[in-house]
Structure 1
Amino acid sequence: MRFALLSRLPQRRVLLWQELLSAALDGAPVLLGPPHDTPDPALREKVEVLFVADPPPGSFADWPSVRFVQGLWAGVDGLLADPSLPPEVPLARLKDPAFAGVMAEGVATHVLSLHRQLHRYRAQAALRIWQPLAQPQAAERPVGILGMGELGMAAAGVLASLGFPVMGWSRTGRPVPGVEIHTGEDGLAALLARSQILVNLLPLTDSTAGILDRARLARLPQGACLVNFGRGGHLVLPDLIEALDSGRLDHAVLDVFEPEPLPQESPLWEHGGVTILPHVAAVTDPRSAARIVAANAQRFLAGQEPDGLVRRDLGY
């Protein structure tokens, strides 16, 4: 008994993950942790690999023999915030090309929607106004992407194929074909100044928390739009509302919030300048992800370096 799955997802989703993981591990059993099951302590002590998706806080302490933790999602900020996660145990995030493709599809959907001004036409239709709007070409609408990992590169490729000039900002400044890359604070300022549509795909770390604040939003061109598919902690909500109310920003598409679900009393629900999505920009497909994380776990147990190892100081 070497594997266990920890998750607070609904039971039917957890059971699906359990079935797919076991099949990908050549039939090896996969224990379930609380809240779906509470294995005997003797069994828990045999578990070497934990697969995790939103595990209960503090639950890592119940698995004393764990040698490797594999996330089932691309983001690991929630895991890193759990003090029970042993600092010496390697942690890997999901790296699934299928997930990157889904995220790129989501980014393209909402960039095109903003570019073609569907939010304005919806507002006009609510007032029964029939009024065509001037429509710029895609080549006239620069798009900036914050975060140029697998997700950012996939999104940039799709947007470039649609004719948008694409800029990217990353920690490393690694070149990406067809994308104008920026790095550092000066590079961020330069990218923001030209981004008529800004897409955030950054991981949430100490250095990126609150990165979309009043000062940086003010650097965007007048009437720019924002797509936040990173994390809610990247965005300072009062500063966003101020930018929308002043007309500095035209519209914001928000898929992530802090906390989630978005509280009923949040002013965002009734703000005409905001499109709210319930964290659905890119959803992990267990069918592809289970094969990838199972192979990664087997790679670790065979003494090989697993893919997607997380630098805990950076969150990726």
Structure 2
Amino acid sequence: MRTLAVSADGPDAWTSWRDAFARVAPDLPTVSWFDPAFDPKNADYTLVWEPPPGEMARMGHMRAILCTGAGVNHLVNRSDFPANVALVRMGGDQTAVLMADYVMWAAIGLLRDAKSWTRQQTQHVWHRKPVFRNSADTRIGILGFGNLGAAVARHLAAAGFNVSAWCRSPREEKQIPLFFGEDGLSDFLPSIDILVNLLPSTLQTRHIIDAAFLSRLSKGAGFINVGRGDHVVEKDLLAALDKEQLSGAVLDVVATEPLPATSPLWDQPRITLTPHMASEASRDAQAAYVAQAINELENGRTPPLLYRPERGY
């Protein structure tokens, strides 16, 4: 049986990972990457998040590297990343449901201007500001229609929102209206009330959400970023909020994490910040997904979230 070496989250997390794999995949041998007696040459797979500098160079013989995150640009952009080794992104049903629930919460918060209620409570102000628009009247656009984007779109549509999505290239989809390419983006952006970013981080998408991009949205639109922090030009986002081109924003990801205490994002009253936790599945769910991906690789199948260098995700 192939052996999995666990590096994710550092040595202090090993016990929780060990116990999770024992519960959901007891036949998969696991070892701690940080065990003094461990030799990487004796492992076939490794589970990582942010390995210490230089550590990935010791993974060049692995059959695959598995990441605990859906985004892997922080790995593939490292100088020690072994490009010859297969890389699998985190997925699974729980990850998708958590993301869909988070976006639902964020969208309803923007729809009802819940941020104003929080401000009023902290100021001991009792002021009623009725909102008459409901989910059926609200047009939500999803940027990116991959595994998570599709799950979010269908969840919102089932709740009654008017949902569409944009993706790079044409594909078949029966439930959600799709827009494609640059021409499609021109039609897509002005037609939505809340934009949800779920794009992958690639050379083509970095800093895509800038002043020009935001100006193409209908005035007063809301923005939810659960994609990557490097998609957004933060000064342009702040300017759009100040000018009321955007009515509000919910950010789960930012360019620099943890967000520096000096960042103006903290103090913009129309921004809600969460600490990159929109869809972090439980240890058991992640371990089950990793075991399933290893089983697929062992049986000559391709895991659905295998990193594709030509796509950048």
TM-score normalised to structure 2 length: 0.92
Identity %: 34
Measured in 1, the distance between the counterparts of 2:214 and 2:240 equals 7
Preserved CA contact (<8 Å) 1:32 1:39: no
Preserved CA contact (<8 Å) 2:9 2:48: no
Measured in 2, the distance between the counterparts of 1:290 and 1:6 equals 13
After superposing on structure 2, the runs of 4+ consecutive aligned residues of structure 1 that deviate more than 4 Å are 22-25
Question: What is the aligned partner in structure 2 of residue 217 from structure 1?
Answer: 214
**Residue range with higher mean Cα deviation, 105-114 or 298-307:** 298-307
Measured in 1, the distance between the counterparts of 2:72 and 2:291 equals 18
Question: What is the aligned partner in structure 1 of residue 95 from structure 2?
Answer: 99
Q: Secondary structure at the match of 2:169?
A: coil
Q: CA deviation at 1:59?
A: 1.1
Q: CA deviation at 1:294?
A: 1.2
Q: Secondary structure at the match of 1:7?
A: coil
Q: Is 2:91 the counterpart of 1:76?
A: no
The verdict on how the C-alpha distance between 1:312 and 1:38 changes in structure 2, with shifts beyond 3 A counting, is farther
Q: CA deviation at 1:4?
A: 0.7
Question: What is the aligned partner in structure 2 of residue 285 from structure 1?
Answer: 282
Q: CA deviation at 1:53?
A: 2.0
Measured in 1, the distance between the counterparts of 2:308 and 2:54 equals 21
- One-letter amino acid of the structure 2 residue matched with residue 269 of structure 1: W
What are the equivalent positions in structure 2 for 1:1-316 lying under 5 Å apart? 2-9=3-10, 11=12, 13-22=13-22, 24-33=24-33, 36-40=34-38, 43-125=39-121, 126=123, 128-316=125-313
Q: CA deviation at 1:202?
A: 1.1
The verdict on how the C-alpha distance between 1:147 and 1:62 changes in structure 2, with shifts beyond 3 A counting, is same
The verdict on how the C-alpha distance between 1:191 and 1:47 changes in structure 2, with shifts beyond 3 A counting, is same
The verdict on how the C-alpha distance between 1:270 and 1:259 changes in structure 2, with shifts beyond 3 A counting, is same
Measured in 1, the distance between the counterparts of 2:185 and 2:304 equals 29
**Residue range with higher mean Cα deviation, 152-161 or 304-313:** 304-313
The verdict on how the C-alpha distance between 1:189 and 1:93 changes in structure 2, with shifts beyond 3 A counting, is same
Q: CA deviation at 1:233?
A: 0.4
Q: CA deviation at 1:131?
A: 2.7
Measured in 2, the distance between the counterparts of 1:253 and 1:173 equals 29
Q: Secondary structure at the match of 1:167?
A: strand
Measured in 1, the distance between the counterparts of 2:57 and 2:36 equals 14
- One-letter amino acid of the structure 2 residue matched with residue 31 of structure 1: V
Q: CA deviation at 1:235?
A: 0.7
Q: Secondary structure at the match of 2:7?
A: strand
Q: Secondary structure at the match of 2:42?
A: coil
Measured in 1, the distance between the counterparts of 2:138 and 2:28 equals 51
The verdict on how the C-alpha distance between 1:261 and 1:219 changes in structure 2, with shifts beyond 3 A counting, is same
The verdict on how the C-alpha distance between 1:179 and 1:306 changes in structure 2, with shifts beyond 3 A counting, is closer
- One-letter amino acid of the structure 1 residue matched with residue 6 of structure 2: L
Residue deviations 1:184-207, cap 9 Å, x none?
Answer: 112122211111111111111111
- One-letter amino acid of the structure 2 residue matched with residue 16 of structure 1: S
Preserved CA contact (<8 Å) 2:196 2:223: yes
Alignment gaps of 5+ in structure 2:
none
Measured in 2, the distance between the counterparts of 1:236 and 1:169 equals 20
Q: Secondary structure at the match of 1:45?
A: helix
Measured in 2, the distance between the counterparts of 1:239 and 1:46 equals 49
Query: CA RMSD of the aligned region, Å?
Result: 2.0
Residue deviations 1:144-183, cap 9 Å, x none?
Answer: 1111112111111121122211110112332333321011
Q: Secondary structure at the match of 1:83?
A: coil
The verdict on how the C-alpha distance between 1:269 and 1:28 changes in structure 2, with shifts beyond 3 A counting, is same
Alignment gaps of 5+ in structure 1:
none
- One-letter amino acid of the structure 2 residue matched with residue 106 of structure 1: Y
